Amino acid sequence: MRADAVAAFLVAILPLIAMPGASLTLLTQRVARDGARHALPVILGTVTGLYVHATLAAIGLSALVMRSSEVFTAVRLLGAAYLIGLGIVTWRTKPTATAADEPRQARRPAYLQALLGNVLNPKAAAIFLTLVPQFLDPAAAVFPQILVLATAQAALITVWLLGWAALISRARQSLRHATSGTILQRIAGAVLVALGIRTAIA
């Protein structure tokens, strides 16, 4: 695949990556509470979800979901319900809670939360059905090209989230104060709920 096509794709996808979403919210919560090393599971979960969408798009399943309004609505509402539920749990979780005190949902691996947040987001699938095809060479095999673009997007997302993790980690000492930690938990929970509502009514 031509390097200029990959570069153009990254330029086109950058505003979507920079837009705050569930992955950044989850990363902020985890890093501020537990440290920079907890950014890795969030990033891996997000990237895994990205490859899931790329694979589904390559074999046509995502296209089926997008063409069927009923299936698309079901996936959208399921994703919205997950984000809202995660937001409520985040809101209710005490920032100083021990592992034994936290709700069971809050103790779920960050990897799984990030993966589900990405896989259950139909807009992530739409990227591979609306934006990606514009950068494909029709004369070449489709799957390898989608894999290249997905890898480029995964690399860009990784750099973006690592940058945020570094910034959040440096501010962690002030955020660990009881009042600051509570405020952060409330903000993270509210953002997740808002994202879920936006997904449900979009």
- Show pLDDT as tens, one digit a residue, over the chain (202 residues): 788 889 999 988 888 888 778 888 889 888 887 788 889 999 999 999 999 999 988 887 666 666 666 766 776 677 677 667 767 776 776 654 444 444 444 445 889 989 988 888 777 877 887 788 788 887 888 889 999 999 999 999 999 999 989 888 887 665 555 455 566 666 666 766 776 787 677 6
111-126 burial: b if 16+ Cβ within 10 Å, else e: bebbbbbbbbbbebbb
CA 40 to chain centroid, in Å, comes to 13
Amino acid at 25: T
Please report the pLDDT score of residue 101 as a whole number. 44
Give Cα separations from 20 to 14, 140, 188, 197 (angstroms): 12, 34, 11, 15
pTM for this model (two decimals) = 0.69
Please report the pLDDT score of residue 100 as a whole number. 41
What's the CA gap between 5 and 65, in Å, rounded? 27
Look up tokens 């570069």; give the residue: 7
181 near 28, Cβ under 8 Å?
no
Please report the pLDDT score of residue 149 as a whole number. 94
Structure token digits, residue 164: 């945020």
